[in-house]
Chains A and B, each alone.
Chain A
Amino acid sequence: MTGIVRVEQAAYRYPQNDYGLAPVSLSIGPGESVFVTGPSGCGKSTLARCLTGLIPHLYHGHLTGEVWLDGLRTRDERLWRLAERAGLVFQNPAAQMLAVSVEEEVIFGLENLGLPRDVIRERLEATLTRFGLQALRNRSPHTLSGGEQQKLALAAIVARQPPVLVLDEPLSMLDTSAAAELIDHLADLARAGTAVVICEHRSEPVRQIPDLRTIDLDGQAQGGQVQDLPLPPSDGPPASCRHSILRPPPSNGPPASCRHFALHPPTSDGPPASCRHSTLQLTVSDLEVRLGGRPILPGLSFLAHGGQVLAVVGRNGVGKTTLLRALAGLQKHTGSVTVDGGPPDLGMVFQNADLQLFNASVREEILFRVPDPDMARYAWLLDLLGLGRYEAVPPLLLSEGEKKRVALATVLMRGPRHGVLLDEPALGQDAAHKSRLIRLARALAEAGQLVILTTHDLGLAAGADRLLLLGPEGFVADGPPAQVLRDDGAWARLGLLVPDWVREGVTE
């Protein structure tokens, strides 16, 4: 087996649990592009860390097998030598920012190569130009949008000119345009001879990278061998994406009981009156939020009705989360937000589930501070969200997808009267986790509740009942997804792209 990256039966187990990477062997040649995919928990991030040497040098779990990088055995080499050969871009753009300005961020990695000052200056200018970051060079990385941060993270690595570039879910936090721009840069790097390894859930955006080889870790996670697979056909979404996951699949929808009892488990008395017909009306008038003197939401007005799933889409940093926070009463604002003329009672599930979890077990977490808990509802939530087997497990030890479901259960157990707000529910979730979460959203809506979610995932947004396109000046489009997704002018005004596979998958 030859290649600039060689993995020979490498397997890894984290010290705190059994999750990690099942034995895997692969070889990546110089200039080859590889797309590593597989469901949540199959070991994509772990493999990315093994390829770059962070495992075993920074992690103290158990690594077996061998990983060779440009002829060096990773377990024997110092990390800085490996970092010269393979750069790693992480999932969360903000968390990998180390400096107080964009140019310092790039300089940091160049200093560590021991380059003379004039070479550093040369590479700095070339990198800023290549990635279009000149105008931002003196800005703090923390003031950049998610897309700009991820571009900077890539620039800081590419400036070091490693022959291998590994990216761990680089697109999950980016809007479609930022993702497309990042992919353009990766395609250029691949053409220039860099070996690019992308670990991602979504295959659609990475399609345009030339000669991309796909490796599915799912096969080996189930005890088989790593499989090289052809890319999904380019004339439509992959099979798992063809049905809008917000709409109940024809033969595998939510159980009948969910349709009428989303917030109320079945009882002998029949569905509560509120479930039969939704009369809830959310009225937002002239909602305006200013953050740091900057207007984020400039005078938004809209109505939303219970029984609908409403998706809000917009570019990174446009104020989608701020809108949800204002609706939940967590953000100071001017203008008014009412439900049926009174203050809203909406539960919010945050993008980062870690913010909401702190108890010693899932059971304690869900029942925390719930007076006279309705244990029938508790059991129903556990069942619906697939959390039954984790009842005694500390929530913080669960996977990201599972934590998100626990956070949702804590909100639903409290039983907000008017509905739920979901901030990027699809973030970092594979198709199975997404459909589980969204099945619940659909059930809640069918019970007459308000369900409002924000997302960058247009496949998800396409399945909502109503799609709101949010720009810096307010909503630029509002209507059924089939109509909004075809409003090319609105998307162009925001600088957002609608991938063909989304457009083609939408039905009137």
Chain B
Amino acid sequence: MARPGTSDRKGRLLLVEDSPLRAVDPRTKLALSVCASLAVMLSLEKIAIFMVVYALLLLWARLMPEALWQIWRLKWVLIPLFLVDWLLVSLELAAIVTLRIILLTGVFTLFVGTTTPSEMRLAMEWLRVPYRYAFSLSLAFQSVNLLDDEWRAVREAQRSRGAWAPRWSGWRGLVDQVRDLVALTVPVVVLTTKRAWAMTEAAYARGFDSPRRRPYRRLSMGGLDWALLAGAVATAAALLLWR
């Protein structure tokens, strides 16, 4: 399977190209992700142990910096959540909820950081998801990154006409602040809708709805895939049987 190197316009890495997981079949990564997601149901001790195993996997896969970055981006969700749970319920609940979110963030990195949208599409098709939906989902997924750019572009454009400025001018200014938000959201929605429409037209102009379609890429399981799956099964069994 071809390994396209991708990065967006601002040079941010979308795929961790040097990860050994790039060479792994997307179905294997999907299975690993599902297993890791199910681990959120474990008790606190088992989650902590699983986190260690999972951290080792991320280190081996050279995904740790990316995972830590994703977790750092969630800091304003994680910190208040941890404090509220701790103060209102218990430290144990605060720890388990925080660990679960961190775990799910890591799962996201594992799959997204190493899989191209076309590989995702193939995996979804293998799962009998109709091509039309698999294609749309993978396209939506690869466009998520563009949303960031669109928010930034709209914010700048509004600033340049004096329609938006981040400021706090007391409660009286609250109405203005809400209107500022509209000033940002309307163009973003318009842009996103236009982009989605342009992609739809472009896809149909190249025969997207053809029943004769034959995929060029093929999925294939190698030794590493089976080894990873065996490791996942062994870890799951150990955690379930351990009392």
Distance in angstroms between the alpha carbons of A289 and B6 in the assembled complex: 23
B215 contacts partner chain A, Cβ-Cβ < 8 Å? yes
Q: Say whether, besides A54-B205, A157-B206, A354-B191, A294 and B11 are in contact (CB < 8 Å).
A: yes
**B203 touches which one: A98, A116, A292 (CB < 8 A)?**
A98
- Bound Cα distance A348, B153 (Å): 12
Interface stretch of the complex, out of A83-91, A178-186, A305-313, A430-438? A83-91
B187 touches A330 (CB 8 A): no
Residues of A334-349 contacting chain B, CB below 8 A: 347-348
Range of interface residues on B (Cβ < 8 Å):
35 or more
Interface pair B207/A84, CB less than 8 Å apart: yes
Cβ contact within 8 Å between A100 and B4: yes
Contact residues in A for B139 (Cβ distance below 8 Å) = 98
Question: Chain B 1-30, CB within 8 Å of chain A: the 1/0 string?
Answer: 011111111111010000000000000000
Q: Are B7 and A87 in contact (CB under 8 A)?
A: no
Task: Say yes or no for B212: interface residue by CB 8 A criterion.
Answer: yes
Instruction: Check A108 against B4 for contact (C-beta < 8 Å).
Output: no
Rounded to whole Å, the gap between the CB of B26 and the closest CB of chain A is 13
Is residue A139 within 8 Å, beta carbon to beta carbon, of the partner chain? Answer: yes
Q: How far is the CA of A111 from the CA of B211 in the complex (A)?
A: 11
- Rounded to whole angstroms, the CA-CA distance of A350 and B159 in the bound complex is 11
Query: Which residues in A have some Cβ–Cβ distance to B below 8 Å?
Result: 49, 52, 54, 57-58, 78-80, 83-84, 87-88, 90, 92, 95-101, 103-104, 107-117, 120-121, 138-140, 142-143, 153, 156-157, 160, 291-294, 325, 328, 330, 347-348, 350, 352, 354-358, 368-370, 396, 407, 410-411, 414
Interface residues of B in 107-154 (CB under 8 A from A): 116-118, 139, 142, 146, 153-154
Contact present for A103 and B161 (CB under 8 Å): no
Of the candidate stretches B83-91, B192-200, B220-228, B230-238, the one touching chain A is B192-200
Contact A396 B209, CB 8 Å, known A103-B4, A414-B162: no
Partner of A100, one of B142, B158, B179, B209: B142
A337 to B156, CA, bound (A): 18
Give A354 Cβ to nearest chain B Cβ, in Å: 5
B2 and A101 within 8 A (CB): yes
B242 at the interface (CB under 8 A from A): no
Which residues in A have their C-beta under 8 angstroms from that of B158?
Answer: 355-356
B186 at the interface (CB under 8 A from A): yes
- The residue among B11, B158, B207 with the most chain A CB atoms within 10 A of its own CB is B207
Would A117 and B216 be within 8 Å (CB), given that A57-B204, A87-B205, A96-B199 are in contact? Answer: yes
B92 within 8 A of A: no
Pairwise interchain contact A139-B206, C-beta atoms closer than 8 A: no
Is B161 a contact of A110 with CB atoms below 8 Å?
A: no
Are B204 and A90 in contact (CB-based, < 8 A)? no
Residue of B nearest to A108 (CB): B206
Name the one of B176, B179, B206 contacting A112, with C-beta atoms under 8 angstroms: B206
Q: Which residues of A contact B207 (CB under 8 A)?
A: 79-80, 83-84, 109, 112-113, 160
CB A44 to nearest CB in B, in angstroms, measures: 15
Known: A58-B201, A98-B199. A78 touches B209 (CB 8 A): yes
Residues on A with C-beta less than 8 A from B187 are 354-358
Among the listed B156, B160, B200, B216, which residue makes an inter-chain contact with A411, where contact means beta carbons less than 8 Å apart? B160
Give Cα A345 to B214, complex, Å. Answer: 57
B198 partner, pick from A49, A90, A110, A143, beta carbons under 8 A: A90
Bound-state CA distance A348–B146 (Å) is 22
| Residues on A with beta carbons closer than 8 Å to the beta carbon of B211 | 80
Name, among A52, A78, A80, the residue most crowded by chain B CB atoms within 10 Å (CB to CB).
A80
Report the minimal beta-carbon distance from A262 to chain B, rounded to whole angstroms.
18
Which of A49, A103, A355 is within 8 Å of B191, CB to CB?
A355
A143 to B14, CA, bound (A): 12
- Complex Cα distance, B204 from A79, in Å, reads 7
Question: Contact at B186–A358, with CB atoms within 8 Å?
Answer: yes
Further 10 A-B residue pairs, CB within 8 A, beyond A112-B207, A294-B11: A80-B209, A96-B199, A112-B212, A117-B214, A121-B216, A140-B8, A142-B146, A358-B182, A368-B163, A411-B161
Residues of B whose CB lies within 8 Å of any CB of A are: 2-12, 14, 116-118, 139, 142, 146, 153-154, 156-163, 176, 179, 182-183, 185-187, 190-191, 194-195, 198-216
Q: How far is the CB of A15 from chain B (nearest CB, A)?
A: 14
Tell me, in angstroms, the Cα distance from A97 to B6 when the chains sit together.
Answer: 14
Q: Roughly how many angstroms separate A372 CA and B167 CA in the complex, as a whole number?
A: 20
Question: CB distance A328 to B210 under 8 Å?
Answer: no
Cα distance A449–B166 in the bound complex, in angstroms? 28
Q: Is the CB of A139 within 8 A of B5?
A: yes
Q: Give which listed residue, A83, A330, A354, contacts B205 with CB less than 8 A.
A: A83
Cα(A58)–Cα(B209), bound, Å: 12
25 interchain pairs, CB-CB under 8 A:
A57-B204, A58-B200, A58-B204, A80-B209, A83-B207, A83-B210, A87-B205, A88-B205, A95-B195, A96-B198, A101-B5, A101-B6, A104-B118, A113-B212, A117-B216, A138-B2, A140-B7, A157-B206, A330-B160, A354-B187, A355-B187, A355-B191, A369-B176, A411-B160, A414-B162
Top 4 nearest A-B pairs (CB, nearest first) are: A292-B11, A114-B212, A101-B4, A112-B207
Contact partner of A96 (CB less than 8 A), chosen from B6, B9, B153, B202, is B202
- CB distance A369 to B162 under 8 Å? yes
Given A103-B2, A114-B213, A358-B182, the answer on whether A160 and B190 have CB atoms closer than 8 Å is: no
Q: Identify the closest chain B residue to A353 (Cβ).
A: B157
Question: What is the minimal beta-carbon distance from A434 to any residue of chain B, in angstroms?
Answer: 21
Q: Is the CB of B160 within 8 A of A114?
A: no
When distances are taken between beta carbons in the complex, the residues of chain B under 8 Å from A98 are 139, 199, 202-203, 206
Q: Are A95 and B199 in contact (CB under 8 A)?
A: yes
Name the distance in Å between B13's Cβ and chain A's nearest Cβ.
10
Quick check: B7 and A143 within 8 Å, CB to CB? yes
Distance in angstroms from B120 CB to nearest chain A CB is 10
User: Given A96-B202, A100-B117, A292-B12: A120 and B216 within 8 A (CB)?
Assistant: yes
Residues of B within 8 A of A57 (CB): 204
Complex contacts, A87 vs chain B, CB 8 Å: 205-206
Asked whether A143 lies within 8 Å of B8 as measured between CB atoms, the reply is yes
Whether B202 contacts A90 by the Cβ 8 Å rule is: yes
Given contacts A90-B198, A100-B142, contact A111 B213 (CB under 8 A): yes
CB of B49 to closest CB in A, whole Å: 36
- Is the pair A291, B161 in contact by a Cβ cutoff of 8 Å? no
